[in-house]
Amino acid sequence: MSLFTGAYANPLDSAPRTIMQSALNASRQALALAGAPNTNNMALIVVALTGFNGSRNHPWAGIREKEEHYSGSLLKIAAMYAAFDLRASADQLAVGSGLAAWPQIEAALMSAFNPEVVSHTPSPISGSLMLGPQDKNRKPNYSAVLELGSGPDFTVDFTTAQLDAFENMMVKQENPGATTTIHGLGYPYLNGKIADDGFFDGGTNGAWLAGDYAQIWPAARIACLNDADTAQGTTVWHLAKLMTLLADGKLVGPLSSGGMKQFMARAGNFFHQTTPPIWPTNGRFLATHGKVGIGKLKTGKPVFSEALIVRDTVRNLDFVVIWQNVIQDGQTQRKLLEPVATMTEATMLAFTP
């Protein structure tokens, strides 16, 4: 049983869908001419789900989709997914080895997985000048994250403390649960898993989470375009691959994808929370799953991002939507997010199955 099993097949089509891309470009150009905020710096990608579930050619369109940006709390999605992957791998090892007592299981996890964590630690962690030796060589705290399962699905399952952490960071959108999760996983496993699964490329580009949202551990940073550097950054392209696999039930596995979606289904979203709502609950577009991201750039300006699964209720079509680098500079939150919604809607409406 290996903890690192290689990159997922890319679920996105090799090139953007022309009709969707044209609609997105036209919407962006019209908003830019009207002086709408962030049209010249926002990154956005829209991926069609319905009719392409489980395929490797999901239609999509994007702008600045491969630019690395600081995205704040949006990267908590990566911590959740890495923890779910650890549970699945630990469960397979325990079942495959016929282990039924936690001390035996934990010893087997340390013996089998710790050397793999060492060999898969990304160079921005192992070579970081910002991290001490203890940070570069951390292993998962298996007993903090996992315990002997009591249900029918998993011999190894999450501890109550870890489940509470997911609730805190994904549903309540707070930081302590993310700190607990990241401390339970450690930067080497967390970022090694993200990279090995194909969501971080070449040591410089993709989903990166090497800060603990509490400044208890030092952070390891990589270059990004909207700030000097970042410990919590991504491209919308890499996160869209992850979210599309999640929506398709293929991220880690169907049970794990379902568990992660349950947390995201109970989370809020920006378009519903504005006053008045941009997407009211009885409107055409419904964000069924989400994770918001908000933080401050080193300039002090707030920056917003979000990952969503969105349903067009009129046509019964589902989409993944990821956007980031929306910088607030005096606007109300509603005015800030109206251009994001307008471009997203134009792209979704252009899609035909």
Quote the CA–CA distance of 234 and 225 in Å, as a whole number: 11
Within-domain flag for 185? yes
Q: Does position 203 have pLDDT exceeding 80, yes or no?
A: no
Residues 61 and 85 in one domain: no
Within-domain flag for 231? no
pLDDT in tens, 135-178: 999 999 999 999 999 888 999 999 999 999 999 999 999 999 99
- Percent over 70 (pLDDT), the chain: 100
Q: What are the angstrom distances between the C-alpha of 68 and each of 130, 158, 225, 323?
A: 20, 32, 6, 12
Residue 219 tokens read as 């952070």
Within-domain flag for 143? yes
Quote the CA–CA distance of 139 and 86 in Å, as a whole number: 12
Residues 36 and 144 in one domain: no
Q: Does position 350 have pLDDT exceeding 90, yes or no?
A: yes
**pLDDT band at 44, cuts 50/70/90?**
very high
Domain of 133?
Answer: 75-204
Residues 127 and 90 in one domain: yes
Q: Does position 251 have pLDDT exceeding 80, yes or no?
A: yes
Residues 154 and 242 in one domain: no
Residues 103 and 83 in one domain: yes
Residues 266 and 171 in one domain: no
Residues 36 and 142 in one domain: no
pLDDT of residue 150: 87
CATH number of domain containing 308? 3.30.450
Q: Does position 123 have pLDDT exceeding 90, yes or no?
A: yes
**φ/ψ (deg, to 5) at 140:** -55, 140
pLDDT of residue 151: 80
Residue type, 14: S
Residues 310 and 287 in one domain: yes
Quote the CA–CA distance of 222 and 347 in Å, as a whole number: 31
Q: Does position 225 have pLDDT exceeding 80, yes or no?
A: yes
Q: Does position 81 have pLDDT exceeding 80, yes or no?
A: yes
Residues 61 and 129 in one domain: no
pLDDT of residue 79: 98
Quote the CA–CA distance of 137 and 153 in Å, as a whole number: 32
Q: Does position 242 have pLDDT exceeding 80, yes or no?
A: yes
Mean pLDDT of the chain: 97
In the listed set 182, 204, 226, which residue is the last one of a domain according to the structure? 204
Residues 46 and 85 in one domain: no
Within-domain flag for 213? no
Mean pLDDT of 31-50: 98
pLDDT in tens, 293-336: 999 999 999 999 999 999 999 999 999 999 999 999 999 999 99
Residues 61 and 145 in one domain: no
pLDDT of residue 69: 98
Q: Does position 285 have pLDDT exceeding 80, yes or no?
A: yes
Within-domain flag for 346? yes
pLDDT in tens, 6-28: 999 999 999 999 999 999 999 99
pLDDT of residue 10: 98
How many domains does one find in the chain? Answer: 2
pTM of the predicted model, to two decimals?
0.97
In the listed set 204, 229, 245, which residue is the last one of a domain according to the structure? 204
Going by C-beta distance under 8 Å and a sequence separation of 6 or more, which residues neighbour residue 267?
A: 170, 171, 173, 289, 290, 291, 292
Q: Does position 102 have pLDDT exceeding 90, yes or no?
A: yes
Within-domain flag for 218? no
**pLDDT band at 202, cuts 50/70/90?**
confident
Residues 97 and 159 in one domain: yes
pLDDT of residue 22: 98
Within-domain flag for 248? yes
